[in-house]
Structures are given as structure tokens and as C-alpha cells.
Amino acid sequence: MAELETERLVLRPLAGADWDDYAAMMAHPEVAAGLAEGVGRTRDDVWRNLAMFIGHREIRGYSHWALVEKATGAFVGRAGPWSPHGFPGLGVGWCLAREHWGKGYASEAARAALGYCFTELAAGEVVSLILPGNARSVAVAERIGHRHLRDTEYRGRRVHVYGQRRPG
């Protein structure tokens, strides 16, 4: 899976070595609460969640990247294309460590991931599933050009489907 670079971030494959940073990110209750994919609160649950994102790359050939801040080398979060079994289409998702909210990093990474979906994965449509009430995530979706398409059930919960078709 290719690495990408944006103005302020490197997007590189998630790895086992990200475990400590990943666990710290997911330990924050505001982070875990926003995730439509859902994740339990124990460190065992979070380890399995990281393994799922790494394993998805093995199965699909793409997955969320680790987002690394160029200026510091810090692990900022994860974002990227996502299409596990049962997911309605090709998705793009985002998740940042709490201390990195409010810097524009999610939108910066999401724009790059969206472009990758259209150019490298030849997607006709890209969607993002967002839990009702996750206003920050809706704002990211709208910044990258997504619009609310419909609502659906995903993993036992009602979610908003945001998305957009390939330009042109």
C-alpha cells in the first residue's frame, strides 16, 4: 500500500509498532464514542481493533494509514479507505488522538484518502458512516465535499451515510 504525503502529514501503513500511540488515542472516551465501527473499552479490545485495521490491508490491499505529523514525527491518528465485510460500499474514515483535534489534520488526511479512492481504487462512489450527533465528523465530511445521502443500520446502530460520486 502506497504512502501518501500532504502538506503537514505523512500517511504510512499502520504497524504493530503503533500500539502504544494507538492505545493512548483509543483510551480517550471522546475518541471511542465517535466510531461507527465501534470498539470496546479494554486494551484487549483496542489491540484487536488495531489488528483489524492492519489485517484489512492484507485482505483488501488498502486500509487506514497511520497519520504522522511531519514537523514532530508524532502519531496523530488514522484515516483512509475502508471496506470490511458488511460495509455498504467503499468507505473513507478518520480518527484523531484528542490532542490533535482542531488543527485541520482530519480533513487534510481525508482529502488525500478520498483522492486515493478515486484515482488508485477506481471508486465510483465513496461513503463515510457517521453516528448521529458526531458534528465534528459531519464537518470533516462536508469539508471534503461529502453530502448526506441517506441513513442506514450498521453493526446494530443507526448511522448517517455521507458520500460523493467520483468527479466528472
- CB–CB of 144/110 below 8 Å? yes
Phi (first) and psi of residue 65, to 5 degrees:
-90, 160
Applying CB under 6 A, the site for ligand COA has a residue count of: 21
Return the number of the residue (151 or 168) whose C-beta is nearest ligand COA: 151
Q: How far is the CB of 160 from ligand COA (least distance, A)?
A: 9
Report the run of H or E that residue 83 belongs to, with start and end.
Answer: none
Which positions from 56 through 95 interact with ligand COA, judged by CB under 6 A? 93-95
Q: Which of 69, 134, 145, 149 binds ligand COA (CB under 6 A)?
A: 134
- CB–CB of 50/25 below 8 Å? no
Report the run of H or E that residue 61 belongs to, with start and end.
Answer: none
Which positions from 90 through 109 interact with ligand COA, judged by CB under 6 A? 93-96, 101-107
Q: How far is the CB of 168 from ligand COA (least distance, A)?
A: 25
Question: Per rule CB under 6 A, is residue 26 in the interface with ligand COA?
Answer: no
The crossing angle, in degrees rounded to 10, of helices 105-119 and 135-143 is 50
